[in-house]
Chain A
């Protein structure tokens, strides 16, 4: 086994996140590949939250059901994780957290008692980190270094106590290995791993910076808030204007005002907040304003499951905003795509003067793994703003529908934009003739956008019989499941641009004898979109909408079932 899944489970507020962050840093530094993701309840204290950390000698980037090592931090942990725990799972925890579990391999460790001996119960988490590190035989020096860096902003004695705690944990862990109570069959990595570890939130934020974002106005809403926080943390260094608006209506209208005056702005929100933004989206459609919208999906309708994941806002994003106007929808599958697509979103928004969406979800934004970094030298930014002349017309009728966009104060022209139907100068009109011309002009931009639509990615052999279809955050999960199935006639087609849908889509579908679409929603929203634009109805659907991401095992099992059924 070169791939170990560790799960930490406890109550909100117990510091699981500290363990996740510190431990992933240590194992990465030691040369392993690492993936982590969390599922958590919508509460600040109590309940049951869990974090999975996968450590492997090969790159890993997907959520799996299997738990090899479980660290319990609360009594409810074992019950909460249910049948994810198997007879092979090594459960490590306080006596009272693992009582009455004779069927499982349990290892009692009095974490809190050891922590108190060091000085404070809070050190329990660092002891756990030390223990886990020992199971991987990670060099003591690496651990001490990372613990020191991690707590470097805290007081000196606190740093020292944490190092002591890690050492204590390490001794306990080493003892367990020695006594064969907790052994992991994982080979030490051969090379140093120079990758960077990032999560979805961070790559969206970095992509925004790389795309020249200098204004963000938003209203906090899980799971989208991280991007607002990230850009706020960077705002002093990058001169970004960050404003927490009174509501999402204000947020998007402020962001549109910023674009109008020459900024590159974005909003970040989730379904319910986006619902409030939709009138602003329609305004962007009418005044032909660029806008970048990060929409981090969570299960709806209404408040739904605030901290869970789902892919059910595709139709909402696509069909929101009254009237006919073009838009672009991206849904990154990998962290790299999250970065590059967000960077690109700012340029496409500017070029076509349309709303551009980055559709993510809780699973995407909260998952970390190591990636080699980005090719910043290969990205380019273009500023499409023009200096205006006296005779400038904001909505000049052009062949491709794109009217050069000026901004007030740059040139001698007037920038007149109106939410009413308007003439070329931007003044209100009720001329039916101009109205028709303007609608046509706005829609001509969609044809231009089509020309640079990103094609779907095919993973696997081109001579497939069965084609699996997925989009957005399920990329790595489906990819790993397909690798497990390991059949030459089964390939995977992943979409990172959902709208406009690439014209080659139909060719891929028609080549297959059987098609299976996998979506984290109840009604196969992307399947419906494919049908609408290609006329092709996907044969089988694998849908999940319980609030959790698919696991590799679930996808693998369900694909196999469909394959066995024959037709």
Chain B
């Protein structure tokens, strides 16, 4: 399939010129085309923020819900119809701040969804306040003396919760970003792809160059199944590792665990009400 199949034609995009979101959008379109996922089969669930606007800009079903609340509806959608490919996508503020509790429990539930987080370490839509992943000392119109809170480490949290797929990429490297998003979508179970992405308007510290200087790729010898090593890698500070940190293929997905689909694979909308059983139950 050609990624053009997902184009909407002339559309008005609300992102700033040079924003990392463009690269992520293009990578995503190419990946789903390569995976031959038809637009009718894909549901992108997002919250609120600049990143959360992504499903507006290509051909797909979408559920653009509330700030911080993309994972619960994504879980509900996948459970109601496991035949759909479901991606939950939003920014760092949405996913790790407002939606922090859902982030934790979605990992525990392990639905077969891909969780893409545009992590630019700053709030874009509300104009430049600190995000949960902002580095300490980062100055903003609200944090005038610099951020005092320690940054949220989504990778460590995900590994601590034994998430079934944990990866981090840099939007500036389209090739690697594509490769990992592709693996994440193919993965059976919850897959986190945290994407480092510069905010050209509100984050003058963590720029394209900064990310290039402060990141490196996990090498081919690195064992993605070793949770302890993965955790060690996740807390490295000076240079931030990129790539797949951790993979646990032994976990059953939420949908696989549901008794509803043990014998009958039909999505819920294709099923009938069991009136005869209700009669039996009442008597």
Identify the A interface with B (CB < 8 A): 196, 206, 209-210, 212, 214-215, 217, 234-241, 243, 245-247, 249-251, 253-265, 279-280, 283, 287, 373-374, 376, 381, 385, 407-410, 412, 414-420, 426-428
Question: For the complex, what is the distance from the CA of A427 to the CA of B9, rounded to whole Å?
Answer: 14
Interface flags, B195-216, vs A, CB<8A=1, else 0: 0000000000000000000000
List B60-114 residues whose CB lies under 8 Å from chain A.
60-66, 69, 71-81, 83-84, 101-102, 104-105, 109
**B281 on the interface (CB 8 Å rule)?**
yes
Instruction: Knowing that A265-B80, A409-B81 touch, tell me 18 more A-B residue pairs with CB under 8 angstroms.
Output: A206-B282, A210-B275, A239-B259, A239-B268, A241-B260, A250-B71, A250-B72, A253-B69, A254-B75, A260-B77, A261-B43, A287-B65, A373-B283, A376-B282, A408-B43, A408-B77, A409-B84, A415-B62
How far is it, in angstroms, between the C-alpha of A263 and the C-alpha of B69 when the chains are bound? 19
Which residues in B have their C-beta under 8 angstroms from that of A265? 76, 80
In whole Å, how far is B166's beta carbon from the nearest beta carbon of chain A?
20
In whole angstroms, what is the CA distance A250 to B281 when docked? 30
B269 touches A261 (CB 8 A): yes
- Any chain A CB within 8 A of the CB of B59? yes
Chain A minimum-CB-distance residue to B109: A243
Is B10's CB within 8 Å of the partner chain A? no
CA distance A414 to B66 in the complex (A): 20
Q: Mark B51-62, 1 if CB is under 8 A from A, else 0.
A: 001011001111
Chain B, residue nearest A250 (CB): B72
When distances are taken between beta carbons in the complex, the residues of chain B under 8 Å from A376 are 275, 278-279, 282
Determine if A210 and B62 form an interchain contact, defined as CB atoms under 8 angstroms apart: no
Q: Separation in Å of the A377 CB from the closest CB of chain B?
A: 9
Q: Which of A196, A214, A255 contacts B282 (CB 8 A)?
A: A196
The CA of A196 and the CA of B279, in the complex, are separated in Å by 12
| Residue pair B269, A410 in contact (C-beta under 8 Å) | yes
Q: Is the CB of B278 within 8 A of A209?
A: yes
Chief secondary structure at chain B's binding surface:
helix
Given A206-B278, A376-B275, verify A241-B79 contact (CB < 8 Å): yes
Q: Which residues on A sit within 8 Å (CB–CB) of B274?
A: 209, 237-239
Q: How far is the CB of A410 from chain B (nearest CB, A)?
A: 7
For the complex formed, measure the closest distance between the CB of A383 and the CB atoms of chain B, giving whole angstroms.
8
B105 engages A250 (CB within 8 Å): yes
B181 within 8 A of A: no
Q: Which of B63, B271, B273 has the most CB of A within 10 A?
A: B63
Q: Flag if B84 contacts A241 (CB, 8 Å).
A: no
A63 to B71, CA, bound (A): 45
B267 interface contact, C-beta 8 A: yes
Which single residue of chain A is at the shortest CB-CB distance from B255?
A241
For A203, the closest partner residue in chain B by CB is B282
Q: A253-B76, A280-B66 are in contact. Are A237 and B101 (CB under 8 A)?
A: no
Kindly identify, within residues 246 to 283 of chain B, every residue whose CB is under 8 Å from any CB belonging to chain A.
258-260, 264, 267-269, 271, 273-275, 277-279, 281-283
- A414–B60 touching, CB < 8 Å: yes
How far in angstroms is the closest Cβ of chain A from B58?
11
Known contacts A414-B59, A427-B56; A245 and B72 CB within 8 A of each other = yes
Does chain A have a CB within 8 A of B226?
no
Given A245-B72, A409-B40, verify A262-B101 contact (CB < 8 Å): no
When the two chains form the complex, which single residue of A236, A238, A414, A418 contacts B64, counting CB atoms closer than 8 Å? A418
Chain B 139-176 per-residue mask, 1 if CB under 8 angstroms from chain A, else 0: 00000000000000000000000000000000000000
A407 to B101, CA, bound (A): 28
Shortest Cβ distance from residue B240 to the other chain A in the assembled complex, whole angstroms:
29
Whether A257 contacts B56 by the Cβ 8 Å rule is no
When chains A and B are docked, how far (Å) is the Cα of A265 from the Cα of B75?
13
Expressed in whole angstroms, the minimum distance between the Cβ of A416 and any Cβ of chain B is 5
Q: Which residues of the partner chain A approach B55 to less than 8 Å between Cβ atoms? A: 416
**CB atoms of A234 and B79 under 8 A apart:** no
Q: Which chain A residues border B73 with CB–CB below 8 Å?
A: 253-254, 256-257, 260
Known interface pairs A238-B277, A261-B77, A414-B40; A247-B101 also in contact (CB < 8 Å): yes
Say if the beta carbon of B24 comes within 8 Å of chain A. no
Residues A409 and B83 in contact in the complex (CB < 8 Å), given A214-B271, A247-B101, A427-B56: yes
Of A212, A264, A408, A420, the residue contacting B61 (CB under 8 A) is A408
- Asked whether A283 and B66 contact (CB < 8 A) given A196-B282, A374-B282, A414-B59, the answer is yes
Quote the shortest CB–CB distance from B281 to chain A (angstroms).
7
Q: What residue of chain B has the Cβ atom nearest to residue A279's Cβ?
A: B66
B130 within 8 A of A: no
Which residue of the partner chain B has the closest CB to A408? B61
From B48, B53, B72, contact of A257 by CB (8 A): B72
CB nearest to B101 among chain A residues:
A246
Q: Contact flags (1/0) for B110-147 with A, using CB distance below 8 Å?
A: 00000000000000000000000000000000000000
